Amino acid sequence: MAVIEAKGLQRRYGGAGGVLALAGADLTVEAGQFVALVGTSGSGKSTLLQLLGCLDRPDGGELLIDGLEVSKLTDEQLAHVRNRRIGFVFQSFHLLPRLRADQNVALPLRYGGVPEKKRLERARELLGKVGLADRIHHLPSELSGGQSQRVAVARALAADPPLLLADEPTGNLDSRSGKDILALFQELHAEGRTIVMVTHDPTVAAIADRRIHMEDGHIVRES
Amino acid sequence: MKDLFKEAVRSLAAHSVRTILSGLGILFGVAAVIGILSIGEGARREQEALIAQLGILNVQIKSAELPEDKEERQEILRRTSGLSSRDIRDLRALLPDLVSAGGLRELEPNTVFPRPKDKKGLRYLGVEPGHLAASPFSMVSGRPLRQVDEERRARVVLLGEGAARRLFGRELAIGKWLRLNNTWLKVVGIVRTGMGGRTELDGISIEDRSGDVMLPLSTSLMVQPTELGKADLDEIQLQFAQTEEIPAKVTVIARFLERRHREQPVYELVVPLSLIAQSEAQQAIFNLVMGLIAGISLLVGGIGIMNIMLASVMERTKEIAIRLAVGASPKDIHRLFVMEACLISLLGGVLGIFAGFVVSWVVAMFTGWATSVSLQAVALATVVSTLEGLFFGYLPARRAAQLQPAMAVRI
């Protein structure tokens, strides 16, 4: 079953005369696949990822996430999709600085209506899974970059979404931590999770099942 | 709701100084509201007490202190001998619809037997039934002084509760005998006065009449004749049927007294009704000023909160985008900011309630006005500050909720 089905996805910035950042992308990702989006900056790969992550809306085309047409949903409904069906990992972690590691991980569950005790339990479990069992009560400022990103991955997994998206997850890390994070993604892939990752690093792209190459808002080839 | 509350508290606590400062406007506004209401409430109670004590339907004419200077005094006494029974007779003729009218004179007996335990507060008064009728007394036991007592110079006496206690202790006073100078008087009744030991209300001195020892005016002249150069009566009390007629009648009385006493300052006219009107006018001015302060503070305070919240939305764009990205809906974001605005405003409100207590206490100290902070005032202040948070938090919250989650990627 396809987790992502995109047809002719378009995104234009700055009104009718603006830049066409994504000029009609077709992409189907089956469950369990690990896909890398590669291309230079400005190629449209981040724009596509934002649309797949329901952080933004397409100006044209169709997009089905986990079988649900999302391009016509209201903001409230879209929030629900982000909450339940998508886990997003950002380049610069994006943890809330005043929340402890477990509270950060539990954040999606808070908006999913899970009671506090239950969601912190789940957060601890996930932090254990990403190897941070001893950092549960630390604030983001007390964590290294690699640790922060692992907290972010745990957060993306909190609601057990069918789709995991990552935007240059190793971009802000030293090579050692970067390798750890990639190993974590490989592990998740091995568990059967569907992953779409934006990267411009060929060694990162090499671990994916599929590499989608983008240029000037078009998908140009796949390898 | 609990999550929302915790989140709001957490982010407000992170900027505690800012939070307190932005609640300051509300603090002043609420303090002013509490002040107004407590002073208003105090004034209302005072007026009730005043009415109970002096009687809203009464008008009193009191003998004034004569000047110290001997020549000045003689000059006055040559023209008038002060308040007398003749004044009452003529006033009755002038004002046929008076409910009652009567005089009172104060005695200073040289000897009193049994000797009172404590002389303070005891007053010895010769009163006419017409005066007594208009005084706000209630009988505890026995009977009042009657017209026959007056006509026959009956040797009877009526005691206030305090006087009875001081003269006869715990024993039943009724039927006992009391000697003033050389006259024996039989206790025929005990009365209770309108209110307890208070002697001043709203700057108006009110005698504590619990210590009154009252005998018929005619009898009092036997106990102690009027001193030379002193007025026959110390006070005349008139009672009317309705408050509406009092202002017009007071003019008539004033004109009569002026003519009768040849414009000499030997009396003063006390009209409880106009005292109350006067204090109400003072209150109104005070309320207007405080109301303005309250209104402006609440408005400025609200705008201050809105301002801080707008700045906070700008500053927290990243946080908002992250929350949206993990699945917070615009509604969730909206609620968070409204909650924060309400908490700031409520904090200001609570501190304002305390400040209001202080304000009303200070006002009471300096003006002598009675104040009373009511539960309703506290409830009103709480409601007002919550509403203010809801109202002024709306715009910043809407702005926050309109942010797009895609911001998260770009930051």
Residues B130 and B190 in one domain: yes
CB B38 within 8 A of CB B364: no
Judge: A82–B324 Cβ closer than 8 Å, yes or no: yes
Question: Of how many residues is chain A composed?
Answer: 223
Q: Which CA distances in Å does B198 have to B53, B136, B273? A: 10, 15, 20
What's the pLDDT band for B35 if we cut at 50, 70, 90? confident
pLDDT in tens, B326-369: 999 999 999 999 999 999 999 999 999 999 889 888 888 887 77
pLDDT over 90 at B178, yes or no: yes
CB atoms within 10 A of CB B379: 11
What's the pLDDT band for B409 if we cut at 50, 70, 90? low
Q: Which residues of A touch B (CB under 8 A)?
A: 46, 49-50, 53-56, 75-76, 79-80, 82-84, 88, 90, 92, 94-96, 98, 107-108, 110-112, 116, 155, 159, 167
Per the structure, the count of domains in chain A is 1
What's the pLDDT band for B245 if we cut at 50, 70, 90? confident
Residue numbers of B between 19 and 38 with CB closer than 8 Å to A: none
Residue A5 domain flag: no
pLDDT over 60 at A181, yes or no: yes
Residues B234 and B94 in one domain: yes
pLDDT at residue number B45: 75
pLDDT at residue number A143: 94
Which residue is associated with the tokens 């991955």? A153
Residues B170 and B313 in one domain: no
Residue range(s) defining the domain that contains residue B370: 2-50+278-410
Judge: A116–B3 Cβ closer than 8 Å, yes or no: yes
pLDDT at residue number B186: 94
Residues B264 and B295 in one domain: no
Residues from chain A contacting residue B14 (CB–CB below 8 Å): 98
Residues from chain B contacting residue A80 (CB–CB below 8 Å): 327, 329
Calpha distance A184→A194 (Å, rounded): 13
Judge: A50–B3 Cβ closer than 8 Å, yes or no: no
Nearest to A23 by CA among A195, A216, A160: A216
Residues B238 and B386 in one domain: no
pLDDT at residue number B90: 93
Q: What is the DSSP string of B332-366?
A: HHHHHHHHHHHHHHHHHHHHHHHHHHHHHHHHHHH
CB A108 within 8 A of CB B327: yes
pLDDT at residue number B204: 45
pLDDT over 90 at B113, yes or no: no
Per the structure, the count of domains in chain B is 2
Residue A107 domain flag: yes
pLDDT over 80 at B150, yes or no: yes
Residues above pLDDT 70, as percent of chain B: 95
Residues B264 and B301 in one domain: no
pLDDT over 80 at B208, yes or no: no
Average pLDDT for B262-273: 86
Residue of chain B whose Cα is closest to the Cα of A110: B3
Residues B130 and B14 in one domain: no
Average pLDDT for A4-15: 90
State which of B228, B252, B271 marks the end of a domain. Answer: B271
Average pLDDT for B219-240: 89
Judge: B331–A94 Cβ closer than 8 Å, yes or no: no
Between A199 and B45, where is the model more confident?
A199
Residue A141 domain flag: yes
pLDDT over 80 at A213, yes or no: yes
pLDDT at residue number B202: 46
Mean pLDDT lowest among A114-128, B44-58, B105-119? B44-58
In which element (H, E) is residue B267 found? strand B267-270
Average pLDDT for B82-89: 91
Predicted TM-score (pTM) above 0.80: no
Residue A63 domain flag: no
Judge: B329–A76 Cβ closer than 8 Å, yes or no: yes
Tell me which residue in A50, A56, A112 faces B327 most closely, judged by beta carbons. A112
Residue A185 domain flag: yes
Give the bridge partners for A5, in sequence order.
A28, A64
Residue A22 domain flag: no
Residues above pLDDT 90, as percent of chain B: 42
What is the identity of the amino acid at B13? A
Residues from chain A contacting residue B10 (CB–CB below 8 Å): 98
Residue A62 domain flag: no
pLDDT at residue number B195: 53
Tell me which residue in A50, A83, A111 faces B409 most closely, judged by beta carbons. A50
Average pLDDT for B243-272: 89
pLDDT at residue number A50: 92
Residue range(s) defining the domain that contains residue A112: 33-57+74-222
Report the sign of the C-alpha dihedral through residues B242, B245, B250, B255, in that order: negative
Residue A24 domain flag: no
DSSP classification of residue A59: S
Judge: B409–A84 Cβ closer than 8 Å, yes or no: no
CATH of residue A110: 3.40.50.300
Best residue in A89, A110, A164, A167 to probe B by mutation, most B CBs within 10 Å? A110
